[in-house]
Chains A and B, each alone.
Chain A
Amino acid sequence: MAEKQADYRYVGKGVKRKDGVQKVTGAASFTRDMNLPGMLHARIVTSPHAYARIKSVDTREAEKVPGVRAVISGKELNYKVGLYVLDKDILAKEFARYQGEPVAAVAADSELTAEQAAELIKIDYEVLEPVLDPREGMKPGSPRVHPNLGEYGYMKGVFFPQAGSNIPHLQKVRRGDMKAGFSQADLVVESSFYNPQVQHVAIETHVSIVQALPEERVEIITSAQSPYTVRNLFSVCFGIPHEKIRVKVPYVGGGFGGKAGIHLEPLCYVLSKKAAGRPVKLTMTREEEFNTIPCRQGLYSHFKTGVNKEGKITALEVEYVWDAGAYADYGVNIGRAAAYAGAGPYEVPNCKVDSFVVYTNKVFGTAYRGFGHLEVLWGIERNMDIVARKLGLDPVEFRRRNVLMPGAETITGEKITDHHGRVDKCMEAVAAEIGWQGYKTDAERKKEIATGKVRGKGIALLHKAPAMPSFTSTAVVLKFNENGSLDLMTSLVDYGQGTYTALAQIAAEVLKMPVEKVNVPWDCDTSFTPYDWQTVASKGLILSGNATIMAARDCLRQLKSVAGQALRCSEEDLDIGDEHVFIKHNPEARVSYQQLAYGYVYPNGNAIGGPIIGRGHYMAQGLNNLDPETGQGLPALDWTYGAHGLELEVDVETGEFTVLKIASSFDVGKVMNEQQLRCQVIGGVIQGLGSAVTEEFRFSKEGKFLNAGMVDYKILTAKDIPAEMTQHMVETPQLDGPYGARGVAEHPMLSVPSALGNALYDALGIDYFQLPLNSERVYFGIKKGEKEFHG
């Protein structure tokens, strides 16, 4: 749908956010702010053990507390919930599989009453030996997190749970001939990396309000990213027909993937049902948000890279072992997506990737901005630097010789064309921006270290495609109002990305009307707003943008049809402008959108037409399932490529370092809104920097979560951001993107840790392999004084 580059009125312009005023005045209402008449408040009781058999749950004392309306435990619930593998109970039944897993719940007149009653519930546990390291968990003799894995339902043809193991999915990619590839290599390098589990830390914690109504009807208000997915998973879980379930999503206080699936809704529903249909609200405390709500998976990665003297990769063997935690959730799909993206944005003729998703007895993983890619790129982009160095090549030059260029094929066999993005251009842009001139020499480094402060620069590339089913679709409805303004209806959720503003720009562009007259109601409602699969994967702008173009064109057809009759001419003779439909060769003869919006009325009172309602949909075209053995196929709607360049300064005495500058570049196809794009990039870069420098879950050897809260788990503050951040955009139009645009919501976060790790090498001559790269780790690396620091 790339149209000829023209003088756009709104596309590419700095239109201000549609939700700005509501948010700066505090008027924007979030689920957390909402109360319904008769609403009860719920609290949960969670397991203090990483792995335990639940011997008994005694709720009798809790039930006696005045004001308590429902107490519930797992044994009375016979439902399974799951996105891709149906492995989770609403409340733990026989086993509690992670510390923080809900075991019982109370709904009461007030939150305080619910909390007091919850404290009276007695649970008797038999503590079991937990699986805490996925590398151990994948071994045959390991304890089983899910003894019944073989009996669970799952999405067939896409995922492959291994019965009798802790592996809910193994994704393989096989390309070329590994033996031949390594035999062509002049050098083989092996390296291993680790990412800990981390949290999204959206500032609004998860919260849901659910009411069980007569006739099996259900009303849900929830802080979710994907109203239709909540509805569908809810329907599957309870066997309630879709049309009886209404999911409403108001303003959402941040998601980042953490609110993509289904979370508290089923529990609120069973409590509401037990409390005679009163609405039940459950709000996670910040501690519960860490302990109970899913996180980003941990990852152990291993790379064996074969390269020849010309600096070309001849073979790459990769093993990813994901620390999925106790439930599969999105984790299995992350293992899948990260495998087909698992060689980085490079041409690798011979490639083997095994991506094992492994259950452990920890809080489970889910989608988190970038869906596995920050994790694999931590290893991939550090590995590229290490291999380049062993080859004696500049790391930018080494990448230059291997990046995916038009004509190359990805590891799943997708051919790169002139209409794909250009990762090389992104790399060159950031290299120029930070003044990359190669690593400093040992002598230069030594001299600088002697001054106590040493600077370093690093580059890292990135790529990501939306990870989504081959049949992902969306719809947009545009309805005209009597004053000629427009309502844009979508179930894509804008929880800050700015997509609604972009969609309004697109509608205004096609219909040549003021963007101010395109209204986007912020609430999504499955009973009124049309289908969207999920708000994830950086697919919002591309799919919903295309659907908006189609819906606007549908409006246009209807406007012209009625205008043609009103103006007594053929529709062919009509054009639009200035909110009017006019005759091309006689622009004076025109009717306004306002006159057409609800039907045109002739001077004598006769009327034609009717309310103008445009409909557009979009289906990702040509995607297919990956071959189960080789991973070959077309999984990607579009690839967005990018790069970061980073400069830092390290205090050699303390290991403290300051990130001075981060330069970022992405091939976005077409900039839709420059200001919002820059803001999106800055926000993502800082979130990525958080993953790089501070964030990690810490567990005791018994599997107790040691830093579940904002006191001990630090996200970056305003004090922690680099003095300089630059954003550069490449525009290689995507043929099927709206005006050529691609998604870039998640990408800014990716590879920031890798660029930091590479810059630390440049500064110190030390390779670090584990995240986060906090000053403590950097200090111990310096203190150890070796070229590699694996701690």
Chain B
Amino acid sequence: METTSKETIITVKVNNISYTERVPCNMTLLQFLKDKLMLTGTKEGCGIGECGACTVIMNGKSVLSCLMLAAEADGAEIRTVEGEAGEQGLTALQQAFIDHGATQCGFCTPGMIMSAQELLERNPSPDREEIVEAIAGNLCRCTGYEPIIQAVQAVARDARDARNARNRGK
């Protein structure tokens, strides 16, 4: 990391693309994603780590990008909502959000999806309490959370069913 008094150069991988950028030392990771990389899917709802709208996955863990400096992300692998859907289409979680009506205005949705996705990757069979715990830092004013919880439960259930079917097949 090359550092001057006010700026620094960082290298990060975002959604599998590597970027080397000169950034102000006081730039947050959220500002970096939105203003430098033009990845506007990640949202800002409060700027102080209270609402979770800016949640991204960094090195496999969900983090609040408004509370991190871009400089702290040097060398990290970051996933934002834009990187979730691939050539095969939506992720199971994204599809479940649609199927269960888990999005209304949609402003909290990217952060919510990243929090829930991180949970499902570290714990493919979460129970309701674990789901609630994982998204408790993501505020939503439209849905009342229940449809979101149901969407995550459905993904976990489908994955469990698929595993069971595979095991039966063995």
Q: Which residues on A are within 8 Å of B, measured CB to CB?
A: 16-17, 19-30, 32-33, 200-205, 251-256, 285-286, 495-498, 675-676, 678-680, 682-687, 709-711, 715-719, 721, 725
Contact = CB atoms under 8 A, between A and B. Distances in A.
A20 B50 contact: no
Nearest to A19: B106
A695 to B, nearest CB: 11
A26 B110 contact: yes
Contacts of B143: 679, 682-683
Q: Which 9 A-B pairs have the closest CB atoms?
A: A26-B41, A253-B107, A496-B104, A23-B106, A686-B144, A496-B105, A26-B81, A20-B98, A33-B40
A637 to B, nearest CB: 24
B97 to A, nearest CB: 5
Contacts of A252: 105
Contacts of B98: 16-17, 20-21, 24
B109 A23 contact: yes
B75 interface: no
Contacts of A686: 144-146
A369 to B, nearest CB: 10
B84 A32 contact: no
Contacts of A16: 98-99
A205 B45 CA distance: 7
Interface string B130-168: 011101111111111111110000000000000000000
Nearest to A22: B106
B46 interface: yes
Interface in B92-107: 94-95, 97-99, 101, 103-107
Main secondary structure of the interface of B (DSSP, over half): loop
B107 A717 contact: no
A201 B42 contact: no
A675 B101 contact: yes
Given A16-B99, A205-B45, A683-B142, A251 B40 contact: no
B96 to A, nearest CB: 9
Contact of B105 (A26, A202, A205, A684): A202
Nearest to B101: A679
A26 B107 CA distance: 9
A253 B146 contact: no
Contact of B107 (A17, A254, A682, A715): A254
Contacts of A710: 46, 48, 50-51, 139
Nearest to B113: A24
A495 B109 CA distance: 13
Given A286-B48, A679-B147, A718-B132, A497 B104 contact: yes
Contacts of B45: 203-205, 286
Given A30-B107, A286-B46, A254 B97 contact: no
Nearest to A689: B144
A636 B101 CA distance: 31
A22 B147 CA distance: 18
A33 B34 contact: yes
B90 interface: yes
13 contacts: A20-B98, A25-B82, A26-B41, A26-B109, A33-B40, A33-B43, A285-B47, A496-B105, A676-B101, A683-B144, A718-B136, A725-B144, A725-B146
